């Protein structure tokens, strides 16, 4: 990004002169000894001087390096001729020579003002003098006057624009940027800066250098504050922002950041402190109204929230975060009975999505070195849809300077925009009529007195502490070490290539229906698109120990495997396998006799889309036949064939954003077996394709029908629902699941799906890249989620980690779920504080709202050591009522961690079989109630990143449950029918839809009803 220290080439010499000469001519300079020989005081000599004589005397003293004399002469001259340009300039030279650069800067600026800014070199000298002394805000004031007097001076306007952006005053910078674009005085940096207002994308070292030069002005720390607010580093914000406000209480950017700090860090009891300091100028900014909307919304006053958000949109209709919140609030009001047209909500949400798409396209361009005309064309199309034609044309004009194969397409795109532009074309065309005409004047404005009143948040009382889990690596003892695993290696001199960075996953599937979970573990290592990788492995569970039955089961696919899932695709009662490859995906049909048969013709599709990642088998359309969802990552085979290099020419792993994202594939199950792709027929075309990695399918919002949540890498997430009239509908933005709380897409991977806060609905925990945070999406009302990561204390604990697989597991059966996370970087040379290998984490609730991480040390084995973790899934390998974990890695074999936590809390679990719905019953929900607690859990498929859990619903009953306490169990099936039971503890129950009785499965049983 452009540095505010940067100066035009012609001024470099003077800049260095200013910086290097500061302090010259001070006391002790041997050349100043003659100054002591003067017999008459300079003041006396200058008293009767004419202007010209005064100038000559000052110059003569300077030529003789009699600096003290020159200083006295210049002071006297300034008293007589205070607005004389030549004297002001000479006085500035004297001040500089006598080691007073700040005084020199003021004098040069006064000279420029006195000159009416006619002499451009004098203005440039003033700019350099202010920069050299760190006087940024005085410089901004000067340049404001310059461009007002000489609007045609584009260089001065550009400097003003850049300085304002660095000072976090986008509101004042934006008009100047728009003029520069219209006047054809722009470059890529200006276009980026003009389009990025929701978070800081400028470097901060220039502002820190200015701080060093002018430590008395804390406003120069504003960039540091903004960066810390963007990163959620709350401990580093308050002291600095308050220091700035004490120095400059009317500084609008600081007032805004103070409000954002209070609201984003959930200190709503301090909102009155902020409101007391805001000025009328701040109240005219979109950020002020957005923050009022946030506060009103969190206090439950949706009408005031909607009114505030709309006011913010009126002031700036190009902030996707605010538009998304407005759409979500309107939807909440509509659900509660307000007369709000759904089409209006759709229009507001659509604009939010377009802005998000543009932001992601812009970020992708930046990460590819700003050299992709194909991306710029897409950016320009999005800007046209947003009504921002001048920007769209400017981007295409920039693209025409880039040597690229798409030059003809760029020219055509630019011409189509130019044909629509006239001198009268506004910078931004009017928003869609439904948005432009939205009238909420019948809703009250936020009442600041009410907003500032104390609030009582949800109880944050401490809860009974969870027992620290004991998780032991017993892989070898379980019989799970194979020759192929022992030869495992994945460290390469040039770094692990992109296509191999995510490794492979696996699943826990009871393929032989003996009641014991078996393990299927995928493998890569060969060539994407080929069948030359090591075999995937099937391990049969023989009563708590495993045997490798890969060859006898014919389950050893050799494609370049990524994820694995299972489900009964032909409704015969036996779980089948789906292997997701970078290449040809495979369906392996369970023959019911301990073997599998490939069905290569079962995934019928006409499109070339080779890189599959995660998948799920579930009945999406409610016809009783399982369908199939297959996530896609980068389009085509380029990610496996293109070599990327660093600036020095060294080979380096490619970034995912180098390659276009691919659309996920939806397949409908055929009555006679097999699948047909219905992605287009079901209208499963998101506004922007994502690089899908994590997947969960189930009833996530407690409404009829199955939902699909997709965690995308570096693009916004997707949330799909199905209806027979319109097919699949994507609504992640409207539901609050597309991005984080600041409307930023993250590098999402794993998903833990559960009622994590025990309030009776389903929350989602998503793992992300380092220097992002893992995200806790809390379902705040039916079908609406909010990023509550900061409120849950989960920002700092994950900031330096790169999370992959994650699961919600009650390790100690205390009825409170823990979050287990497999961490590990994708880069072998990851920069501190991150690292390539990382410890896994287990997070536990310590209060009604907050989580903390358990601390493990090396004496505790696997959990205390660092690994390059990838997929993670759950199973109870020995059926002792305690859930275990399986984890794959980049640099070591997969591991099974047996749960040896020393507790005697009771538990209950359920295996569900559908009759009127699909046999797998994905989309069912189980609720249990005892004298002490109520808990809910969904039956889901997908299970996050590259994996599938053992298909059981498990509940810990907690320390208060007694042996003879009854458990009320309610099952809501995917077709909305319900069954109810009274059951005991410490059992696994088989529940068949519509049966009056639940069947307790004996632990020693070796047959779970193979005739079903």
- Assign 432 a pLDDT band (cuts: 50, 70, 90): confident
Which pairing describes strands 978-983 and 561-567: parallel, antiparallel, or unpaired?
unpaired
Cα–Cα distance, 851 to 868 (Å, whole number): 24
**Model confidence pLDDT, tens digit, residues 229-277:** 988 888 999 999 999 999 999 999 999 999 999 999 999 999 999 999 9
- Assign 646 a pLDDT band (cuts: 50, 70, 90): confident
Percent of residues, the chain, with pLDDT higher than 90? 79
**DSSP assignment letter at 386:** T
Dmax (CA) for the chain in angstroms is: 120
- 30 vs 412 pLDDT, higher one: 412
Is the pLDDT confidence value at 86 over 50? yes
Give the model's pLDDT for residue 145: 98
- Assign 453 a pLDDT band (cuts: 50, 70, 90): low
**Model confidence pLDDT, tens digit, residues 916-938:** 999 999 999 999 999 999 999 99
Beta-bridge partners for 697 = 708, 941
Angle at Cα 151 formed by Cα 395 and Cα 202, nearest 5°? 45
- Report the 3 state secondary structure along 404-435: CCCHHHHHHHHHHHHCCCCCCCCCCCCCCHHH
Is the pLDDT confidence value at 30 over 50? no
- 448 vs 182 pLDDT, higher one: 182
Give the model's pLDDT for residue 455: 57
Is the pLDDT confidence value at 27 over 60? no
Give the model's pLDDT for residue 856: 96
Give the model's pLDDT for residue 343: 95
Most confident of 192-206, 212-226, 366-380, 472-486: 212-226
Architecture of domain 471-910: 7 Propeller (2.130)
Give the model's pLDDT for residue 449: 65
The average confidence (pLDDT) of the chain is 90
Give the model's pLDDT for residue 1002: 80
Give the model's pLDDT for residue 649: 86
- CATH topology for 1-20+49-269 is 1.25.40
- 547 vs 672 pLDDT, higher one: 547
Q: Do 471-910 and 1-20+49-269 fall under one CATH topology?
A: no
Other CB atoms within 10 Å distance of the CB of residue 53: 13
Is the pLDDT confidence value at 20 over 70? no
Cα–Cα distance, 750 to 309 (Å, whole number): 32
Give the model's pLDDT for residue 1010: 37
Is the pLDDT confidence value at 460 over 70? no
Is the pLDDT confidence value at 24 over 90? no
Percent of residues, the chain, with pLDDT higher than 70? 91
Beta-bridge partners for 751 = 766
**DSSP assignment letter at 481:** -
Is the pLDDT confidence value at 7 over 60? no
Most confident of 4-13, 398-407, 554-563: 554-563
Spans of all domains in the chain: 1-20+49-269, 320-452, 471-910, 911-1000
Cα–Cα distance, 577 to 596 (Å, whole number): 9
In the three-class reduction of DSSP (H, G, I as helix; E, B as strand; rest coil), residue 882 is classed as coil
- Assign 71 a pLDDT band (cuts: 50, 70, 90): very high
Which pairing describes strands 518-521 and 506-509: parallel, antiparallel, or unpaired?
antiparallel
Query: Which long-range CB contacts under 8 A does 848-851 form with residues at least 24 apart?
Result: 848/458, 848/459, 848/460, 848/461, 848/463, 848/757, 849/457, 849/458, 849/459, 849/460, 849/757, 849/791, 849/792, 849/793, 850/460, 850/791, 850/792, 850/793, 851/792, 851/793, 851/794, 851/797, 851/819
* Phi and psi, residue 566, nearest 5°: -145, 165
CA nearest 509: which of 596, 428, 426, 422?
A: 596
Give the model's pLDDT for residue 849: 79
């Amino acid at each position: 990004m452009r540095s505010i220290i940067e100066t035009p080439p012609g001024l470099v010499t003077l800049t260095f002169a200013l910086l290097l000469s500061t302090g010259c001519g001070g006391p002790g300079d041997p050349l100043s000894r003659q100054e002591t020989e003067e017999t008459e005081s300079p003041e006396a000599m200058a008293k009767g001087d004419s202007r010209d004589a005064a100038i000559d005397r000052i110059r003569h003293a300077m030529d003789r390096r009699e600096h003290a004399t020159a200083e006295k002469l210049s002071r006297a001259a300034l008293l007589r001729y205070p607005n004389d340009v030549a004297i002001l300039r000479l006085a500035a030279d004297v001040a500089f020579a006598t080691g007073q650069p700040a005084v020199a800067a003021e004098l040069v600026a006064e000279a420029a003002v006195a000159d009416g800014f006619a002499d451009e070199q004098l203005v440039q000298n003033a700019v350099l003098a202010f920069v050299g002394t760190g006087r940024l805000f005085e410089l901004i004031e000067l340049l404001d006057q310059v461009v007002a007097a000489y609007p045609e001076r584009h260089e001065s306007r550009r400097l003003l624009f850049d300085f304002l952006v660095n000072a976090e005053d986008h509101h004042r910078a934006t008009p100047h940027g728009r003029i520069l674009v219209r006047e054809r005085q722009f470059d890529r940096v200006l276009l980026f800066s003009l389009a990025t207002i929701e978070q800081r994308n400028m470097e901060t070292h220039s502002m820190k250098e200015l701080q060093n030069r002018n430590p008395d002005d804390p406003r120069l720390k504003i960039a540091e504050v903004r960066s810390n607010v963007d990163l959620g580093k709350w401990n580093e914000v308050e002291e600095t922002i308050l220091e700035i406000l004490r120095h400059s209480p009317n500084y609008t950017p600081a007032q805004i950041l103070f409000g954002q700090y209070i609201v984003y860090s959930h200190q709503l009891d301090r909102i009155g402190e902020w409101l007391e300091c805001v000025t009328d100028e701040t109240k005219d900014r979109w950020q002020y109204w957005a923050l009022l909307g946030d506060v009103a919304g969190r206090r439950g006053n949706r009408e005031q929230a909607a009114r505030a958000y709309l006011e913010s949109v009126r002031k700036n209709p190009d902030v996707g975060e605010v538009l998304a919140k407005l759409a979500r609030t309107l939807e909440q009001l509509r659900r509660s009975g307000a007369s709000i047209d759904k089409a209006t909500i759709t229009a507001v949400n659509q604009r939010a999505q377009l802005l998000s798409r543009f932001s992601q396209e812009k970020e992708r361009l930046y990460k590819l070195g700003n050299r992709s005309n194909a991306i710029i064309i897409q950016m320009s199309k999005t800007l046209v849809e947003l009504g921002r034609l001048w920007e769209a044309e400017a981007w295409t004009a920039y693209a025409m300077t880039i040597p690229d194969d798409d030059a003809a397409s760029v020219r055509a795109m630019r011409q189509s925009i130019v044909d629509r532009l006239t001198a009268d074309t506004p910078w931004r065309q009017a928003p869609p009529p439904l948005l432009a005409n939205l009238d909420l004047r019948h809703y009250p404005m936020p009442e600041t007195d009410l907003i500032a009143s104390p609030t009582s948040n949800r109880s944050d009382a401490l809860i009974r502490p969870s027992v620290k889990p004991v998780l032991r690596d017993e892989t070898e003892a379980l019989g799970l070490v194979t020759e192929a695993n022992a030869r495992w290696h994945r460290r390469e001199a040039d770094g692990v290539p992109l296509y191999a960075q995510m490794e492979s996953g696996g699943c826990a599937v009871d393929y032989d229906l003996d009641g014991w979970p078996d393990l299927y573990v995928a493998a890569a290592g060969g060539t994407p698109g080929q069948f030359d990788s090591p075999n995937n492995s099937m391990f049969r569970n023989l009563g708590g120990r495993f045997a490798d039955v890969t060859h006898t089961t014919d389950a050893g696919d050799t494609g370049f495997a990524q994820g694995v899932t299972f489900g009964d695709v032909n409704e015969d009662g036996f779980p089948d396998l789906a292997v997701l490859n970078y290449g040809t995906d495979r369906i392996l049909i369970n023959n019911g006799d301990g073997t599998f048969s490939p069905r290569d013709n079962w995934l019928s599709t006409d499109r070339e889309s080779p890189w599959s990642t995660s998948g799920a088998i579930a009945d999406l359309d409610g016809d009783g036949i399982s369908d199939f969802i297959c996530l896609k990552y980068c389009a085509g085979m380029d990610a496996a064939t293109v070599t990327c290099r660093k600036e020095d020419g060294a080979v380096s792993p490619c970034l995912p954003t180098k390659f276009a994202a691919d659309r996920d594939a939806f397949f409908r199950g055929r009555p006679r077996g097999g699948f047909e792709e219905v992605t287009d027929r079901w209208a499963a075309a998101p506004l922007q394709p994502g690089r899908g990695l994590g997947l969960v399918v189930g009833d996530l919002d407690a409404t009829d029908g199955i939902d699909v949540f997709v965690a995308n890498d570096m693009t916004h997430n997707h949330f799909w629902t199905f209806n027979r009239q319109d097919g699949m509908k994507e609504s992640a933005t409207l539901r609050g699941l597309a991005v984080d709380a600041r409307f930023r897409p993250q590098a999402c991977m794993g998903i833990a799906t559960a009622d994590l806060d025990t309030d009776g609905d389903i929350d989602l925990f998503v793992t992300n890249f380092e220097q992002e945070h893992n995200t806790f999406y809390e379902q705040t009302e039916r079908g609406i989620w909010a990023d509550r990561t900061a409120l849950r204390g989960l920002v700092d604990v994950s900031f330096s980690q790169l999370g992959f697989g994650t699961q919600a597991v009650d390790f100690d059966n205390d009825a409170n779920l823990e979050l287990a996370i497999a961490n590990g970087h994708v880069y072998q040379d990851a920069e501190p504080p991150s690292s390539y290998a990382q410890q896994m984490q287990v997070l536990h609730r310590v209060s009604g709202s907050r989580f903390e991480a358990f601390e493990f040390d090396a004496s505790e084995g696997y959990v205390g050591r660092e690994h390059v973790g990838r997929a993670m899934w759950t199973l109870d390998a020995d059926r002792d009522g305690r859930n275990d974990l399986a984890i794959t890695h980049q640099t070591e074999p997969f591991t099974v961690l047996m749960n040896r936590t020393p507790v005697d809390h009771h538990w209950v679990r359920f295996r569900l079989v559908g009759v009127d719905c699909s046999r797998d019953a994905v989309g069912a929900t189980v609720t249990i109630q005892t004298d002490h607690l109520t808990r809910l859990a969904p039956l889901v498929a997908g299970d996050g990143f590259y994996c599938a859990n053992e298909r059981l619903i498990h509940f810990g009953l907690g320390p208060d449950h007694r042996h003879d306490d009854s458990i009320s169990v309610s099952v809501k099936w995917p077709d909305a029918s319900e069954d109810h039971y009274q059951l005991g503890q410490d059992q696994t129950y088989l529940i068949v839809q519509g049966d009056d009785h639940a069947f307790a499965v004996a632990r020693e049983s070796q047959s779970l009803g193979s005739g079903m």
